[in-house]
Amino acid sequence: MKNLDFLKGNLIAHRGFHNLKEGIPENSLAAFKRAIRNNYVIELDVHLTSDNKIVVFHDYNLKRACGVNKVIESCTYDELLKYNLFNTKHKIPLLSSVLNLVNGKVGLLIETKTINFNGNLERELSKLLDNYNGSFAIQSFNFFSINWFKKHKKKYVVGLLSSDFNKRNISNLRKWIGKTLLMDIILRTDFISYDINALPSSYVQNKRKSKLVLGWTVRNKADFTKGKRYCDNLICENIEKLE
């Protein structure tokens, strides 16, 4: 039986417990240290660099966070070390460094991100996680990534990220698939992470009868109140203003 209890207790810090006004950028070691001090579960994003290093970073492009128009997956890790996060002193961290820092002190919620799925990120990620002594879960919007873990790492806790995608420029079919959680019939994930802006949802409430539901991303008290009603736990920013 898979243990999902670590996802049910304390709030989940979106990209770590960050606050740029205090010089603590998202997905940085400083944000993760702060989350650990406050005993929050850490949500983070991972990419694979061109030299097969797993880095913790949200966007596919470095422009927003580092001010350069480069695709992160086309860079080596040495290249990435040239840039700082949001004009701070902080660098893009390796996942291995984050795992060493966290070391089982709090749970991890890891989102896999890849432009073109080929399984390389998932293989390299599992090499690290197979030797990690702590609680973690994998989540993704990418059906192929989820399926890889369901097939090759059956003991991992794996979840589907989804939304109604109303504000996204994608096909109506893709929006409908996301909204209805149709792919979960095939994927049979352990939990659902659903867009707080797309709640309430009858599809989500139906899933909640049989599995854990997380809500993302909560940034204000109104969404926090709504999320508490429709979800089992919440992925949050500005946590100090919500509790």
pLDDT classification of 85: cutoffs 50, 70, 90: very high
Q: What is the mean pLDDT of residues 43-54?
A: 98
At residue 108, what is the residue type? L
Structure-token pair, residue 128: 């690290």
Q: What is the pLDDT of residue 61?
A: 98
What three-state secondary structure class fits 87? Answer: helix
How far out from the chain centre does Cα 177 lie?
20
Of the two residues 38 and 241, the one the predictor is more confident about is 38
- String of b and e for 45-54 (b: at least 16 CB within 10 Å)? bbbbbeeebb
At residue 35, what is the residue type? A
Q: What is the pLDDT of residue 168?
A: 87
Q: Alpha-carbon distance 145 to 214, whole Å?
A: 19
Q: What is the pLDDT of residue 25?
A: 98
Q: What is the mean pLDDT of residues 103-120?
A: 97
Query: Strands 41-48 and 54-56, how do they pair?
Result: antiparallel
pLDDT digits (tens, 9 = 90+) for 165-196: 998 889 999 999 999 999 999 999 999 999 99
Q: What is the mean pLDDT of residues 142-158?
A: 98
* Apex 232 CA angle, 226 and 237, nearest 5: 60
Q: What is the mean pLDDT of residues 120-130?
A: 98
Q: Is the pLDDT of residue 60 over 80?
A: yes
pTM strictly above 0.95: yes
Structure-token pair, residue 16: 């770590």
Q: What is the pLDDT of residue 172?
A: 95
Note whether 84 and 23 are within 8 A (CB).
no
Average pLDDT, the chain: 97
pLDDT classification of 1: cutoffs 50, 70, 90: confident
Query: Contacts by 204-213 with C-beta closer than 8 Å and gap 24+?
Result: 204/230, 205/230, 207/181, 208/232, 212/4, 212/7, 212/8, 212/159
Q: What is the 3-state composition of the chain as percent helix, strand, coil, each rounded to the nearest 5?
A: 40, 20, 40
